Amino acid sequence: MLKIFSGSSNRKLSKEICDHLSVPLGKQHLKRFSDGEVAYQIQENVRGTDVFVIQPNCPPVNESIMEMLIMIDAFKRASARRITAVMPYYGYARQDRKDKPRVPISAKIVGDLLTAVGASRLLTMDLHAGQIQGFFNIPVDHLFAAPVILEYLKKLDLNNLVIVSPDAGGVKRARFYADRLKCNLAILDKRRTNTNEAQIMNIIGKIKHKEVVIVDDMIDTAGTLVNAVDVLLKGGAKKVFAAATHPVLSGPAMLRLNNSPIEKVVVTNSIKITEEKRIEKLIVLNVSTLLGEAIRSIHEETSVSKLFI
């Protein structure tokens, strides 16, 4: 039997997934003690069931992760047959390697914690680096929001389109979009100067008089994005759009996007968008059907690869 439960970080997305699958959202009691501790109780029988716990690691990230760990432990102790952690946005994914001396690999810590508390498998979307799947000794289903984003980009009917990768690490993702849209690819030579800060050195590729779409996995403070927009426009781009799966949008992000000459910013609802972040140029696409079909395939033991294009 399939049962779906939701953490508090994006219950709207969880409900939309349940509506797509015609499955009720699981009954539970989730609250906080006055000091911030999470208190959780499952309010229906889950013994022997196939449980999916939906909890993107939305800000505040640490609370979201801790909440999910506590929920998974409750299902393990309630004798669920299998527990799938559904994390459309995987927190700490940017800290996936030692790029400086004496730093942790925090993306692996999150994976170790999920496995330690009893997660049977992970369902996630657009990891910052696909190699993070190797941190796990349990199955990982890695979805891509590209089918949903591509469908929207095709409707824009852009002329002389060029897909731009904001850095060398995103070239594979950008090439996938360029191949599907049958257009050229350009790359920004970016040097990270500090956390949430980057300097763009060069444009590799032809963007003059072109309509440009910057493709990335997430937008955090939007500093790199708005700098990229300025560089591309100075380099002769006609119009600049952006598409990213995860709208973290922290700190000064909304102010920067509002003040930027960027045309549209296309994101998904993998992370909850609060009302104060809903601006005219921010387009939020729904990935509940994509996630719902992945959950169905996992539950029915059928191929998830049919969701890729």
Q: Which residues are catalytic?
A: 190
Residues 136 and 93: their CA atoms lie apart, in Å, by 13
173: number of Cβ within 10 Å: 20
| Residue bearing tokens 């257009």 | 183
* 121-125: strand order across its sheet: 2-6, 50-54, 82-87, 121-125, 140-143
Which of 294, 287, 47, 288 minimizes the C-alpha distance to 148? 287
* 184-194: strand order across its sheet: 197-204, 184-194, 161-165, 211-219, 239-247, 265-268, 282-285
Question: Which two structure tokens, joined as six digits, stand for 263?
Answer: 């045309």
231: number of Cβ within 10 Å: 20
Q: Helices 61-77 and 106-117, interaxial angle, to 10°?
A: 20
CA atoms within 13 A on the CB side of 184: 14
Residues 2 and 299: their CA atoms lie apart, in Å, by 7
Residues 245 and 285: their CA atoms lie apart, in Å, by 9
Taking a C-beta distance cutoff of 8 angstroms, is the pair 42, 5 a contact?
Answer: yes
Number of helices (H), then strands (E), in the chain: 8, 14
Taking a C-beta distance cutoff of 8 angstroms, is the pair 236, 208 a contact?
Answer: yes
User: Any bridge partners for residue 52, and if so which?
Assistant: 4, 84
Residues 206 and 222: their CA atoms lie apart, in Å, by 24
Residues 2 and 22: their CA atoms lie apart, in Å, by 11
